[in-house]
Structure 1
Amino acid sequence: MATTDRQATTLALAHALSAAERGLAVIPLSRTKLPALRSPHRDDPDPAPCHGACGRPGHGVHDASTDPTRVRELFAAAPRATGYGIACGLPPHHLIGVDLDTKTGTDSSAALRELALRHLFTIPATMVVVTPSGGRHLWLSGPPDVVVPNSAGRLAPGIDIRGAGGYLVGPGSRTGHGTYATAPGTAHLPPAPCPPALLRLLLPPPRAHHPTPPSDGGRGRGLVQFVLAAHAGQRNTRLFWAACRAYEDGIGPALVDPLVDAARATGLSEREARATIASAARMTGHRP
């Protein structure tokens, strides 16, 4: 590897460790902005879905960690990494990224201002990252009991949203097109709370409920196991996802207590678990 590449990896690790100190879970990225670690299941003849439950690195954003020892291990396994990604939707910040793109031929900043005028909200002072192409990433903080999905162009042309299961390229990362950097005067700012009116625009409308009685308990057991396999930083997000699927499958009420027990086994309190499940019920159009 060239000296410049080694320096880029060392610098990316330093930036990633600094972000982890601020409570932001990180993963190493390649010059293409993709996760730098290959999947450990790439050669499996019939790979089963795995989001890190196997314990090996290479699961993309599911590897994200704030533990400095773990972060160093991830970068040691990815010696060609030149950047780092910051996982969205995880505590304590529950990060939401508003990606204002410049490559679509539209003025995404103007589109966001128009939305703000129409829906009566303002974007607060917050961390802003400038991309090599001149775009901007606005960092916002979401409520702990709400899961914001990823979307591309749904809010307006040129505006992409990075939510739960997504990640933002961290400032200081080097890519094939240049380096990501914080906008002047924003590096010291924490992610500001997402305005409620904007948050409502980011959430999908409730799905129509079509109950599907399960033929057996296999689906329910799978959702409970999904929650039990959560690492630190994934517990609330996994519980919310599993509860949403349970209510959509018509087994939500029957699975509340097993999901609460699974969440408590991962370290969540019963109060946190029941609040998250209730939020999932409301999101899917059910009464908690």
Structure 2
Amino acid sequence: MVTPDVLTGVWARAADASSFSGAAREFADAGVPVFPCVPGGKRPLTGHGFRDATTDGGQVSAWWRQHPQANIGVPTGVASGVVVVDVDVHGPIDGFTAFGRAQEAGLVDGWQLLVSTPTGGMHAYYPATPGGGQRSWQAARAGIDCRGEGGYIVAPPSVVAGERGRAPYRVRRINTDPVKPLDDRRLRDFLDPRPTPATRPTGHVREVNAERLAGWVAGRPEGERNRGLFWAACRLAENGIPPVDTYAALAPAAEHAGLTAREVSATIRSAYRTTGPAPRTPAGSPSEEPRRSVQQASGRLLS
């Protein structure tokens, strides 16, 4: 894992690179794995997304020769040495409010650098815990996501086209004070406190493994993504899981598979509107494992 001081320098140099290929090589040469994303977007161009990330200079050069304007994806967690808190701004949700509250509580200190995102939000980078364990999750109502194991981010100087036009990711500030790993579990509990789940009577709907469902959704190929997400969301809805918890469990996986945030929200809403008799199981669906609480697994994704 790349050390924090090296990482800070890498991000600064990559942000100043004159081309996306040059920035990608800066990351790879420093030991930070990268993979290409669609020009102007966040969807991976590789078959297995962030799992195809590499530091092999030859492969990196070949990718960007084929796609010179490809954005730069970086897996989060131990692979790259960074965990990222993603502050979103969309519609009535302003993640900066929640981030400010977390800052007052001392839960988001110790960041390495801050990056402005094309939509007006922010990425706060923290050193990953050497042993791993920092997972990706979403606190949708707070406008905050955490990108850890099983996640990825798009790095500067990538450019994304949105409603405001094309805009780049820009390094906003570099911390010269000591940095420290993020306690992502405390942050999630602070932003999205969860009540103790009520005990359901025996003989109720079989509980499902949300982690397994999320991993399965993340692997759905094009043409199967919406149907797979719908099926998985129905399984959680049948177990009485609130929509916000289903979104937190499945949305990161569905977005990694290639769905947009809007598609994910619409599909999950549809699942909750239509849940009743169990829909037909799509080909290749995972088995539902009993005796594993979905509430305990709902925030965890396969790494």
Smaller-chain TM-score bracket:
0.5 to 0.7
- Partner residue in 1 for 2:159: 174
Percent of aligned pairs with the same amino acid: 26
Displacement of 1:131 in angstroms is: 1.3
* Correspondence list, 1:74-89, <5 A: 74-76=63-65, 78-89=66-77
Q: Which amino acid aligns with 2:31?
A: G
Tell me the distance in 2 between the aligned counterparts of 1:61 and 1:159: 21
Displacement of 1:60 in angstroms is: 1.3
Displacement of 1:87 in angstroms is: 0.8
- 1:193 is paired with a residue whose SS is coil
* Correspondence list, 1:1-288, <5 A: 11-35=19-43, 37=45, 57-76=46-65, 78-91=66-79, 93=81, 95-118=82-105, 120-143=106-129, 144-151=131-138, 153=140, 156=142, 158-176=143-161, 177-185=166-174, 192-195=180-183, 197-198=186-187
Displacement of 1:174 in angstroms is: 2.0
Displacement of 1:130 in angstroms is: 0.7
Tell me the distance in 2 between the aligned counterparts of 1:190 and 1:67: 31
In the superposition, relative to structure 1, how do residues 202 and 166 fare at CA in structure 2: closer, same or farther (>3 Å)? farther
Q: Deviations over 1:247-276 (max 9, x none)?
A: x778xxxxxxxxxxxxxxxxxxxxxxxxxx
- 1:183 is paired with a residue whose SS is strand
Q: Which amino acid aligns with 1:83?
A: N
Q: Which amino acid aligns with 1:14?
A: G
Tell me the distance in 2 between the aligned counterparts of 1:203 and 1:101: 15
Tell me the distance in 1 between the aligned counterparts of 2:154 and 2:93: 22
Tell me the distance in 1 between the aligned counterparts of 2:177 and 2:41: 24
In the superposition, relative to structure 1, how do residues 68 and 29 fare at CA in structure 2: closer, same or farther (>3 Å)? same
Contact 1:28 1:75 in 2 (8 A): yes
Contact 2:38 2:71 in 1 (8 A): yes
Contact 1:86 1:170 in 2 (8 A): yes
Tell me the distance in 2 between the aligned counterparts of 1:139 and 1:19: 15
Q: TM-score, structure 2 length as denominator?
A: 0.50
Contact 2:139 2:188 in 1 (8 A): no
Tell me the distance in 2 between the aligned counterparts of 1:29 and 1:148: 22
In the superposition, relative to structure 1, how do residues 110 and 203 fare at CA in structure 2: closer, same or farther (>3 Å)? closer
Contact 2:135 2:150 in 1 (8 A): no
Gaps in structure 1 of 5+ consecutive residues:
1-8, 38-56, 213-244, 251-282
- 1:96 is paired with a residue whose SS is strand
Contact 1:148 1:203 in 2 (8 A): no
Gaps in structure 2 of 5+ consecutive residues:
1-16, 207-285, 292-298
In the superposition, relative to structure 1, how do residues 108 and 200 fare at CA in structure 2: closer, same or farther (>3 Å)? closer
- The number of aligned residues is 191
Displacement of 1:99 in angstroms is: 1.1
Tell me the distance in 2 between the aligned counterparts of 1:178 and 1:249: 47
Tell me the distance in 2 between the aligned counterparts of 1:14 and 1:61: 19
| Backbone CA RMSD of aligned residues | 4.2
In the superposition, relative to structure 1, how do residues 191 and 59 fare at CA in structure 2: closer, same or farther (>3 Å)? farther
In the superposition, relative to structure 1, how do residues 200 and 145 fare at CA in structure 2: closer, same or farther (>3 Å)? farther
In the superposition, relative to structure 1, how do residues 149 and 121 fare at CA in structure 2: closer, same or farther (>3 Å)? closer
Tell me the distance in 1 between the aligned counterparts of 2:35 and 2:154: 10
